[in-house]
Structure 1
């Protein structure tokens, strides 16, 4: 970040037009070089020098409050109707009712009737006129300018009741839009409240309570049962189950003990822990997530870019149409000037682009926030939209579709040794070995099974296996090719080896220089639920699933067949995976690559959407991927695609609602049914429909 820049959080930022004006006002401050305003996150970066009072003065028109980024905010549970603007709106409504009472009793032109309606207009529209008149003087035509012209015009032609209703409906629309955007932004406030602000630190055997900003790396953090962990770190003492749902979306608590990583904002359930702090407060995983979510919400999605460009031409077009509707009929068709001006004002009101402008950002903000709370980090609206259009998904095998740790699947004896003896002798040999299957055999055997076997004269045989004396017998363990150089492997054993290898399993033989004593086969196990996840992807409309692996064809085909994948590409180097992704994009369209975010970086970058698994605590995954699953959990994939598709559908619905409702209102102009209050009702209705439709994404779940 630049030395002369500051980041602030904003309160009271109510609409996109207000945000644009606020940004413009700040740019006009002489000492400010540049400003980057993030409407979705209510956050702003100012490059240059400006005091908070100067910034708040620039936002005084909308009552915007400016707070330093690191200042703790106390969220007051303020009632929607206790705000001054909303109180004015309520009074305006009561005066409208009173005005209509006098309208029917004393007449529409009675001074009392006009006075009550005028009071309603001035009280309900005070903020509107204050800004609208300023904008009009500068020939700046935003929504408030258009509304001000419409209300003044209605008053001039004597439509006091209409003007009062229009002002009230506009004020109500503003209040509800502000409330709805606040609900959409709530996802970030929830994330910000996950990690505690205070931590208990042990320094030189003394317990200190301090702000998390004051905690240093390598401090010892004390975490009692039932407490939230305040900092990222490594457990150095104790054992406990940690609920990581807030960070990773995992529903099942994870057992943590010495050497394990823990994250700020997770809940310690039953044990006492001492944790060595490994990251400063601003660098914790949750801090990175908050930052990336805010950046994502600021980024304009393709739909939003289109809408913004469209609005640039749409607003002048509406102004021109409004003028023509007001002027042409009296000039050429002997129509009443008053009714024509009235119709022109109605067109002006119904044409306000508010609903159209907000149609995309509110959906994007809501969806990205929803995903973050469920442990899915989507790093921009463009990636959200691209995910909704995916046709092909390519998977890295190891650690994505499979667990990444081979497990022993078969133990067979071909001699007087039983299966337990085969395992125990193999484990005793593998204790000293670097063979790929050594870890799997040792995990299967456990420590107690090797206790009775003493290993002497151990020798590793590079690329083949190992040999050692166990119980006065020289044993060999390794690939089948290790034994074919000593003797011919019997047909029945060779047949069994071939069968196991066809199943995608790796075979190790145990024997002497004269015979095969037994074999152990192991395979990387498919993740639990991988099959159902692939089935869900097909149900969601994914047309092709491809597995990319560096393993041999036998292993690849076995796993591909088990999971019902469309295609398996085996024996691939990282550069080969890149070429496969390019071909898939050319042949089938939008393609995603999902892996661990560290390996296969070229393929992840080349795909339309690169998805990394296990992002929590992994800086590389958070930085390189377009989407990161915070947990090592493939189950998030169908949810993310479903959410993206639902978001695309909501955006399309929003644009259709915003334009359709306005077009319908304009058509009412032909038979002369379009009134001012109906015009503002159409504008307000479109805005509310768009916002409420977008807020449905807050509740989007796995099953959607």
Structure 2
């Protein structure tokens, strides 16, 4: 019995400490088996324990999340496109609201900075505002300027202190405590000025409070905008589906909403329009561009009985399509669900950052208090320096950079993969794909085209190649066997398509224009008393080349030997060579006979070959390699590959394989050919590099920045103390830089 899984949309998260807290709280629930919370996507993937009903589990988890002051909503049941449109509009509205407060905040902060510090660098200040002439006016002006800024940034205090009181401080708590300390100390100095001590005019930190809030708000806006860009790839997929369609009835069409259509209805798609549904072409021929779905740049020719998928672009001629999938059941909807699921999952490399993020904010708060005490008690510096150092420590620390380092890269990489025809189902697969030591390939349909083809025709008794192929095609015309299709494809002459006599295990016989014709193996020729001595050399050569020989006789005499073989994909050699250059070991596991498997392997330069392998043998071979400590990937496209795909560390399932194969795979290759395997491996390596860069920056920034803010440079070498405003600016830019670095993956090719 499989465990129940569901996804929640989370609101109210501001940093990695928030997502880590939700994970820890929910994971401790009796109903929950596991939970993964993604900060960039604002999603939580929850798996319930056995025996817990979905309704009961969802209610319990939502209630628990709401109890710790976050919002949660089940994402299932709504049309994916409509859901995305709502989320997109809410995101856009949130950005607009954030932006609205920035201009007044920035103007007030600049005025505050001018009044408080302008005179220090020679900028003119009215005499009645100078601290020397009128310290009270100087202080009151700053107080009046900072209060509107604090009001515009009130969410820092509301959320920050609320989380602090509950024992789960986050980034907002750091900002609230840091700027709050600056404000309270400045307020104390203001009172001292009012009672007559004008020396406190130099101990005002209203500008630190106001400028910090303004700078951090700018940083949060930039971060939110960058995160929204990171989701643009999903948006581009969502936008592929039109919201209306031309319903086709009785030779006429009318525009209707997609919600009004049903399975079995017919729609008309004009040239240049996107196909709104999955279905089967019942009228017309055209070319369809599926590049944004499969990454395949060449348009696909379609005709009657061809299947088409929603989101594809119709090319040259009108098509009438009968609907077989709508809305959330279309191929495009499945792709979007897979990508969103992958974006919300966690990669093993994120574990360290998650653990650090949970303890990070409390640790920073402790360090800030220790910093204040150290400077106030053990140094001869004024108390204002201790306050300044404490505030700097609080505002320079950036848990967001650590929390965004891994999931943002995963979010962008999985979406980019989908655009290139590589569907990565989870973050674990994305990470492991770049670390594989061995890739095992199925042969038929993977390394080869999976379509037999006539590759050799040897004639006897004066017959021409065209004659024997036409005779063979007459016998095979009514058959659906792959070899019959190969014969039909090789023939270019007119045929009569007779009804042959089928001899199981031997071949076919029939009368064509008064001649008795037989097509089959050597045993059939023996039964028909046909002398095949003359063909011994040809048969031996075809056998050595792993080709299937078909013998054709006419009126009891051998007329030809036709060699049929499954041909290697044109790109297989190039891909396997590239894999070897990457240091990846390749092997082939095939159900075909060992001679055929060996021949294909030799042609492709594969050293290890396993022939005549049953499905359980394929899984066993992979398990034995894993037992040696190797990371093993499997590439396959058929039902018999499913156990091996599931056993492998990373399973690459070819999309045109059967459904169970695609379900067993961790990575689904939408584009035909093996080039997608290389794309997946290189994308994984690029994503891992990006993640390590982000983590290196996030940890490095905090490891270096916090000691500087504590005043280590000043204490040891007499260097400068870090201004809280510079610290706040650095914090604001730190998380933005991580997101911008992750966005570079959008241009991966």
Distance 1:43-1:201 versus aligned 2 partners, 3 A rule: farther
- Contact kept, 8 Å, 2:163 with 2:173, in 1: the verdict is yes
Q: Secondary structure at the match of 1:450?
A: coil
Q: How far does residue 192 in structure 1 lie from its aligned partner after superposition?
A: 1.5
The Cα shift of 1:171 comes to 0.9
Judged with a 3 Å threshold, the aligned counterparts in structure 2 of structure 1 residues 427 and 207 are, in CA distance, closer, same or farther, namely closer
State the TM-score, normalized to the length of structure 1: 0.87
1:692 equivalent to 2:740? Answer yes
| Equivalent-residue separation in structure 2 for 1:25 and 1:606 (angstroms) | 33
Conservation of the 8 A alpha-carbon contact between 1:504 and 1:555: yes
User: 1:74-223 alignment to 2 at 5 Å?
Assistant: 83-102=96-115, 103=117, 104=119, 105=125, 106-107=130-131, 110-111=138-139, 114-115=142-143, 118-119=146-147, 121-123=149-151, 125-157=153-185, 158-203=204-249, 207-223=253-269
Matched residue, 1:31? none
Counterpart of 1:625?
665
Partner residue of 1:546 out of 576, 579, 587 = 587
Return the match for 1:427 from 473, 479, 491: 473
Change (3 A) 1:286 1:432: closer
CA separation in 2, counterparts of 1:337 and 1:248? Answer: 64
Secondary structure of the residue that 1:201 maps to in structure 2? strand
Match of residue 326, structure 2, among 280, 290, 294: 280
Contact 1:459–1:467 (CA under 8 A) maintained in structure 2: yes
The 8 Å contact of residues 81 and 87 in structure 1, kept in 2 or not, is answered as no
Matching residue of 2:599: 558
Q: Which residue matches 1:462?
A: 504
1:354 aligns to 2:400 (yes or no): yes
Matched residue, 1:676: 724
Q: What is the Cα deviation at residue 330 of structure 1?
A: 3.8
Q: Tell whether the 8 Å contact from 2:26 to 2:35 is kept in structure 1 after alignment.
A: yes
Distance 1:480 1:116, change over 3 A: farther
TM superposition shift of 1:497: 1.8
**C-alpha deviation, 1:316, in angstroms:** 2.8
Counterpart residue number, 2:495? 450
Q: Does 1:577 align with 2:618?
A: yes
Deviation at 1:651, TM superposition (A): 0.8
1-structure distance, mates of 2:629, 2:26 = 47
Alpha-carbon distance change, 682 to 662 in structure 1, aligned in 2, over 3 angstroms: farther
**Contact in 2 for aligned 1:386/1:608 (Cα 8 Å):** yes
SS in 2 for 1:468: strand
Equivalent residues of 2:10, 2:70 under 8 A apart: no
| Matches of 1:60 and 1:585, distance apart in 2 | 45
2:530–2:553 Cα contact (<8 Å) kept: no
Residue among 372, 396, 400 paired with 1:326 = 372
Q: Deviations over 1:178-217 (max 9, x none)?
A: 1111111222222221111112223466644322122111
How far off its partner does 1:244 sit?
1.2
Q: Name whichever of 559-568 and 290-299 sits farther off.
A: 559-568
Q: Is the CA contact (8 Å cut-off) linking 2:279 and 2:321 kept in structure 1?
A: yes
Structure 1 regions of 5+ residues with no counterpart? 28-33
Structural RMSD (CA): 3.8
Distance change >3 Å, CA 233–CA 434, structure 1 → 2: closer
Whether the aligned pair in 1 keeps the contact of 2:17 and 2:169 (CA below 8 Å) is: no
The aligned runs of 1:601-620 (5 Å cut-off) are: 601-614=642-655, 619-620=659-660
> For the residues of structure 1 that align with 2:368 and 2:251, how far apart are their CA atoms?
76
- The yes-or-no answer on 1:384 pairing with 2:430 is yes
Unaligned runs of 5+ in 2: 28-33, 46-53, 120-124, 186-203, 715-720
Q: Distance in 2 between matches of 1:284 and 1:78?
A: 26
Give 1:605 shift.
0.4
Cα distance in 2 for partners of 1:574, 1:68 equals 37
Q: TM-score with structure 2 length normalisation?
A: 0.82
**Structure 2 CA distance for partners of 1:435 and 1:235, relative to 1, 3 Å:** closer
Distance 1:129 1:67, change over 3 A: farther
Answer yes or no: is 1:254 the counterpart of 2:294.
Answer: no
Cα deviations by residue, 1:384-420 (Å, 9 ceiling, x for unpaired): 1111212211111111121111110111112222222
Q: 1:662 touches 1:682 (CA, 8 Å); kept in 2?
A: no
- Equivalents in 2 of 1:368, 1:319: separation in Å? 36
CA–CA separation in structure 2 for the residues paired with 1:361 and 1:664 = 23
1:556 Cα deviation from its structure 2 partner: 1.9
Q: CA deviation at 1:130?
A: 2.8
Contact 1:433 1:466 in 2 (8 A): no
- CA positional deviation for 1:174: 0.9
- Residue 18 of structure 1: how far off its partner (Å): 6.3
Distance 1:645 1:543 in 2: 13
Could you report, residue by residue, the CA deviation over 1:247-289 in whole angstroms, capped at 9, with x for unpaired residues?
2221111111111111111111121221111113221111111
What's the CA shift string for 1:317-376, capped at 9, x where partnerless?
Answer: 322222222224544556654423432332222333111111111111111111122222
Matched, 1:650 2:650: no
Q: 1:659 and 2:687 equivalent?
A: no
Q: Is the 8 A contact 1:327 1:341 kept in 2?
A: no
What's the offset of the Cα at 1:297?
1.5
Whether the aligned pair in 2 keeps the contact of 1:508 and 1:520 (CA below 8 Å) is: yes
Q: Tell me the CA shift for residue 534 of structure 1.
A: 2.1
Shift in CA distance, 588/504, structure 1 to aligned 2, threshold 3 Å: farther
Q: 2:14 & 2:693 partners in 1: Cα distance? A: 23
Does the aligned pair in 2 maintain the 1:248–1:631 contact within 8 Å?
A: yes
Closer, same or farther: CA 508–622 of 1 in aligned 2, 3 Å: closer
- With 37-46 and 549-558 compared, the bigger mean Cα shift is at 37-46
Deviating more after overlay: 412-421 vs 654-663: 412-421
2:417 to 364, 367, 371: 371
For the 8 Å contact 1:615–1:628, the answer to whether it is kept is no
